[in-house]
Structure 1
Amino acid sequence: MKCHFLGTNGWYDTPAGNTTCILIETPDLTVVLDAGSGLWKLDRVARMDLPVHLFLSHFHLDHLFGMHTLNKFPLGHVLSIYGQPGTREVLSTLVGPPFTVGLHDLPFPVHIIEREEGDYQDPFRVSCRYLRHSTPCMGYRITLGKKTIAYCPDTGYCENAVELAKSADLLIAECALRPGEESPEWPHLNPETAIRIAREAGSKRLALVHFDARAYPSPGDRDRIGYLYARECPSLVITHDDLTLDL
């Protein structure tokens, strides 16, 4: 099982990367976390003959606007899209004329599954919890085989983030803010708070994504976080576009 980071920026694209999109590769299916502009790279690494399960966290455009590239993929199976209540209505507007090809006009079937907070078992174990952001944002805990991946996108510190990350093999957490920065009106994580969540949850590994494009304009700005916190969090991974982790 591998985790491919197709897009690791927040807000907008820069030479440092595309916006957030993460692919989890298994022998039987593909899981995609958010559909930022990095989604266009899907066919670089994903098998097009396997089912694809796309989990959307919320409706901010940096997590959605890669969906206009769906028409380029020769998927030979169903694309299942999961999201909070209201996802079907939002996508029917955003992913359709006059903006792009509609979901039901794609050359493969698309199923939209709206989910409330809770725990689910189809077709694999998934927990959904709301996080702390400026707009409703869903985090996920996904178990594939014997591995558990927690995904905590746009959020401030909250108990639901810790709950999702409990003993996870990999916690993928956003890092939009610089060290020491806070944003109460538009909650996001800084490195210290992401590490706090990982530590309280007992996560085995922490990968930081969604580096704000203005706060982290270059890859070197991200890498400095790794140097600063290597001793405090030895399991820390600073992600860049096209990084692959073995799980």
Structure 2
Amino acid sequence: MQVTFLGTSSGVPTRGRNVSAVALRLPQRSELWLFDCGEGTQHQFLRSDLRVSQLRRIFVTHMHGDHVFGLPGLLASLGLAGTCTGIDLYGPDPLRDYLEGVLRTSSTRISYPLRTHRVRSAAESGALLLDDDDLTVRCTPLTHRVPAYAYRVDQKPRAGRFDVERAKALGIPPGPIYAELKAGRDISLEDGRIINGSSLCGPDRPGASVVYCTDTVFCEAAVELARGADLLIHESTFSHAEAELAYQRQHSTSTMAAQTALEAGVKQLVLTHLSPRYMPGNPMTPDDLVAEAQSIFPNTLVAKDFLSIDITPSEPATA
């Protein structure tokens, strides 16, 4: 899996940062998932190497404009392109009414299947939101001024590495039969032997995991959702010195994000959703925010628009 940041500013765009949007690329499936869709997101797609034609699912954290104002334009453009096979849209309860109202009053016709899914029930119960072939998605309520949700994507464990040399040593000829063995299935050879594919594969390899958490003040629900994740993407709207303002507006500071990462035991933290007050040249800059976070959780970096990160899970130890 690969994450690409299409917008990393909070509230309003700046010259260097658009508002919230993060794309998750699934290269094995030639598929894209999008998390939040602030104003101008479709323009950010055009400036990136991503193919919007591969977009299949969109997950919305909450209904504030800097997270949803880009949706109507993006969905309309997908319809005009005529290549979209369908979009599944996940988010808070008002999302469907919002979109239907905008599309109806603008006389915009969506020519492809658009399926909306309310996430509140899954978030409150802890049930899986999605189980999609080799991926699962969970979500949890956050602490914000309006209903907001964090999302976690987990790749299911992958089959262990197939020992080709051992298969050859057993006299198994290369060919389509290897695919069956790699899948762990039993196969019968012409000489009557039955070979169990699992015996020729190493231990299952863990899948990658990513958590997207914005907007919220520090909350235990985010810690639980992020536990053990490979990558935590967390808002960092304010610096530590403005913690009181963060509590008032129900947003996180750099140190709150780092504390979440530390308590959850994640492998890497990326800060996003930065206030425009921290633009380069101001008294506090993004470098200062990341330094504050690193004092608590060293493996932290700050996102910028079009930054891409490959999510690579740890391989199991070998004997």
Q: What TM-score does the superposition give when structure 2 sets the normalisation length?
A: 0.70
Read off the aligned partner of 2:241 and give its amino acid letter: G
Contact 2:227 2:266 in 1 (8 A): yes
Gaps of 5+ in 2: 157-206, 312-319
1:8 & 1:188 partners in 2: Cα distance?
Answer: 15
1:68 & 1:197 partners in 2: Cα distance?
Answer: 33
Among 55, 60, 66, the alignment partner of 2:64 is 60
Secondary structure at 1:233 match in 2: coil
Secondary structure at 2:304 match in 1: coil
2:278 & 2:254 partners in 1: Cα distance?
Answer: 12
Identical residues among aligned pairs (%): 29
Q: Which moved more, 1:182-191 or 1:147-156?
A: 182-191
Among 204, 210, 213, the alignment partner of 2:273 is 210
Summarize deviations over 1:9-57 as a string: whole Å, max 9, x none: 0100111311000001012121111011252123543334535110001
1:141 & 1:52 partners in 2: Cα distance?
Answer: 17
Gaps of 5+ in 1: none
Q: 1:185 and 1:21, CA in 2 relative to 1: closer, same or farther beyond 3 A?
A: same
| 1:87 corresponds to 2:91 | no
* Counterparts of residues 213-224 of structure 1 (less than 5 Å): 213=276, 215-218=277-280, 221-224=285-288
Q: How many residues align?
A: 242
Contact 1:176 1:188 in 2 (8 A): yes
The structure whose residues are more often strand, as a share, is 1
Secondary structure at 2:308 match in 1: strand
Contact 2:257 2:293 in 1 (8 A): no
Aligned twin of 2:6: 6
Aligned twin of 1:177: 238
Q: 1:218 and 1:142, CA in 2 relative to 1: closer, same or farther beyond 3 A?
A: same
Read off the aligned partner of 2:278 and give its amino acid letter: Y
Summarize deviations over 1:104-133 as a string: whole Å, max 9, x none: x13432111112213323323111111000
Summarize deviations over 1:77-109 as a string: whole Å, max 9, x none: 21111012232122222x3244x464xx13432
Q: 1:106 and 1:166, CA in 2 relative to 1: closer, same or farther beyond 3 A?
A: same
Aligned twin of 1:191: 254
Among 30, 34, 37, the alignment partner of 1:35 is 37
Aligned twin of 1:162: 223
The structure whose residues are more often helix, as a share, is 2
Secondary structure at 2:256 match in 1: helix
Based on CA coordinates, which of the two structures has the bigger radius of gyration?
Answer: 2
Deviating beyond 4 angstroms after TM superposition, the runs of 4 or more aligned structure 1 residues are none
Secondary structure at 1:9 match in 2: coil
* Counterparts of residues 89-108 of structure 1 (less than 5 Å): 89-93=97-101, 95-98=102-105, 100=106, 102=108, 105-108=109-112
Aligned twin of 2:145: 134
Secondary structure at 2:262 match in 1: helix
2:89 & 2:215 partners in 1: Cα distance?
Answer: 19
1:229 & 1:38 partners in 2: Cα distance?
Answer: 29
1:13 & 1:24 partners in 2: Cα distance?
Answer: 21
Summarize deviations over 1:126-164 as a string: whole Å, max 9, x none: 111110001110111111351111111010111111011
